[in-house]
Amino acid sequence: MKKVVYKFYYDFEKEEKWLNEMSSKGFALVDFFMGKYTFEECEKGEYIYRIELLENLVSDPKSIEYINFLEETGVQHVASSFRWAFFRKKASLGQFDIYSDVDSKIGHYKKIVGFFSVLAFAEITIGISNINLGTHVHTEISGVNSVLGLFCFLIGIVFVSISLRFSGKINKLKKEKIIKE
């Protein structure tokens, strides 16, 4: 039996946690498209889910090569969206972390900081120019511009905070690296 849930996440770690909670309740993600999550019934806790930001778009040959490599190791590629990929592995095959050492974890976090910094910059720029437009140029749609601008600006702030959170994680890992591998 299929179960469809519509949900919006901007924080992929919370999203990953939710997918694992769903799996532990017996619902395994089988498809994702623009906030539409499709689940199929599975044994409780059958799969471990991981979400990864890839270097390139999922359709890029480099990404395909990478995904093929992961699939050789018992990982299933469940769904993807732009550069984000949803992976799962049967829990019976043992633990599943895509990155197992400090350096490669830092590498992944750096990609995430880059991704959200670009988005944050775009949203804030669009936001401020719309607010400017809304307050300085008086037309019938000034109000729309202001509201839209404020909305973009706030999303931008959320992205900034995600970037900062992962920058913090990078710094923490770098400190650990001084004393251990």
- The alpha helices in 36-101, defined as continuous H runs, are 61-72
Closest CA to 66 of 76, 78, 80, 54: 54
Q: Segment 23-62, which members bind other proteins (CB under 8 A)?
A: 52
Tell me whether residue 74 or residue 114 sits nearer to other proteins (CB atom): 74
Q: Is 69 in the site for other proteins (CB under 8 A)?
A: yes
Q: Is 179 in the site for other proteins (CB under 8 A)?
A: no
CB 96 within 8 A of CB 75: yes
* Residue located via tokens 């050492």: 101
Least distance in angstroms from the C-beta of 63 to other proteins: 11
Q: Which of 34, 95, 136, 178 binds other proteins (CB under 8 A)?
A: 95
Q: Segment 104-123, which members bind other proteins (CB under 8 A)?
A: 104, 107-108
Tell me whether residue 11 or residue 97 sits nearer to other proteins (CB atom): 97
Dig out the tokens for 113 from the structure. Answer: 């900081």
Number of helices (H) and strands (E) in the chain: give both, helices first.
Answer: 4, 6
SS3 of residue 144 by DSSP: helix
Q: Is 103 in the site for other proteins (CB under 8 A)?
A: yes
Per CB under 8 A, residues contacting other proteins are: 52, 66, 68-70, 72-75, 94-95, 97-101, 103-104, 107-108, 181
